[in-house]
């Protein structure tokens, strides 16, 4: 596990707060650059958010999970992965609260985001299938890991295809914010400058996210908390701060499809944490080395994602406290799931 060794508790707390502030500033700027790049490249907000924005902000998490697995902490690695997916889906409910014009699921519904969410559910079911069967590995890697890697690549291909040749689309309403480019496609010099800026901001987020994960883990380690709890609610949330900041920043810019894509596509990318952790874990199958606690988080993540899909299909304009019923339900279930996780032993 990533730690800040031989430092007083107050140093770890100070490092955590400083890194979070840096992530806040860099994440806000990154959302703006990503919005412009989505237009300049012609990729679109949903795919750009899911692949580049979601992937870049997820790097600290994959470093934390892989490092933990390599050091033999299977429970920590797995919990960090699925805990991050649950937390980031919860962040969408928070983002919905900040968007007052309409429900986020209504305004940001897109075929690409729907497809990514469905693929995400399928990928999260694979660990359950693996755990239900006798342990079997190929060079220390469970076959389910190869299925996750293939499923992610194929799901990404389907999402890209759905953007170029869509067979379905959300009905346009007054509240719908379609992914309409604000800048013209092209402009090679401007595009290159934006990519350089995006890369620099991603590097800042990686370093700040690393420090956040390390300091958060150090704080947790000094309190004697369990690996599953540390992974699910310390390192997972700490390394997910970039997603929260960039999502809210994108919503404030009006880039709603980018915000939704950054979370849904980022969560799809986060399933690779499980695959990388199983590869790094050298003591057998990661799926058989963990307790029921990480699988509870996995089931909760599947439930929250399914509710999000329902929200994008149902597209309620306004709901409880001007947020969608689905967002409110995600909020309640995540809090309730957290309480069950902590009190369940």
pLDDT recorded at residue 207: 81
pLDDT band for position 315 (cuts 50, 70, 90):
low
Count CB atoms within 10 A of the CB of residue 229.
18
Residues 7 and 272: their CA atoms lie apart, in Å, by: 32
What is the Cα gyration radius of the chain? 19
Q: Which residue has the tokens 């499980």?
A: 274
Higher-pLDDT residue of 185 and 6 is 6
Comparing 296-300, 308-312, 313-317, the range with the smallest average pLDDT is 313-317
Mean pLDDT of 239-247: 77
Q: 45-180+228-343: which CATH topology?
A: A middle domain of Talin 1 (1.20.1420)
Q: What is the pLDDT of residues 120-176, one digit of tens each?
A: 999 999 999 999 999 999 988 999 999 999 999 999 888 777 766 666 666 665 454
pLDDT recorded at residue 156: 84
Comparing 48-57, 90-99, 110-119, 229-238, the range with the smallest average pLDDT is 48-57
Q: Identify whether the C-beta of residue 20 lies closer than 8 Å to the C-beta of residue 211.
A: no
Comparing 65-69, 257-261, 282-286, 295-299, the range with the smallest average pLDDT is 257-261
Mean pLDDT of 175-180: 50
Delimit the domains of the chain by residue range: 45-180+228-343
Count CB atoms within 10 A of the CB of residue 184.
10
Is pLDDT at 85 greater than 80 in this prediction? yes
pLDDT recorded at residue 42: 61
């Amino acid at each position: 596990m990533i730690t800040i060794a031989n430092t007083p508790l107050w140093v770890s707390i100070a490092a955590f707060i400083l890194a979070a502030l840096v992530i806040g500033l860099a994440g806000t700027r990154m959302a703006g650059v990503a919005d412009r790049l989505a237009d300049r490249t012609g990729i679109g907000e949903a795919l750009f958010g899911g692949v580049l924005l979601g992937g870049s902000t997820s790097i600290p998490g994959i470093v934390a999970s892989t490092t933990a697995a390599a050091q033999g902490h299977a429970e920590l690695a797995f919990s960090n992965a699925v805990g991050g997916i649950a937390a980031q889906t919860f962040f969408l409910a928070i983002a919905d609260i900040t968007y007052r014009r309409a429900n986020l699921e209504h305004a940001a519904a897109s075929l690409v985001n729907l497809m990514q969410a469905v693929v995400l559910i399928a990928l999260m079911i694979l660990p359950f299938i693996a755990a239900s069967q006798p342990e079997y590995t190929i060079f220390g890697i469970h076959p389910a890991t190869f299925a996750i890697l293939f499923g992610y690549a194929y799901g990404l291909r389907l999402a890209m295809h759905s953007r170029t040749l869509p067979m379905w689309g959300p009905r346009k309403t007054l509240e719908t914010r379609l992914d309409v480019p604000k800048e013209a496609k092209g402009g090679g010099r401007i595009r290159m400058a934006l990519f350089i800026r995006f890369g620099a901001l991603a590097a800042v987020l990686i370093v700040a996210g690393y420090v956040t994960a390390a300091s958060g883990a150090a704080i947790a380690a000094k309190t004697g908390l369990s690996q599953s709890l540390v992974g699910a609610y310390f390192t997972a949330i700490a390394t997910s701060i970039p997603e929260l900041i960039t999502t809210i920043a994108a919503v404030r810019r009006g880039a709603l499809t980018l915000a939704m894509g950054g979370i849904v596509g980022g969560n799809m990318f986060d399933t690779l944490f499980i695959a990388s952790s199983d590869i790094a874990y050298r003591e057998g199958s990661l799926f058989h080395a963990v307790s029921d606690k990480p699988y509870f988080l996995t089931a909760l993540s599947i439930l929250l994602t399914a509710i999000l899909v329902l929200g994008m299909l149902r597209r309620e304009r306004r709901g409880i406290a001007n947020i969608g019923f689905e967002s409110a339900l995600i909020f309640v279930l995540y809090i309730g799931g957290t309480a069950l996780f902590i009190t369940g032993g």
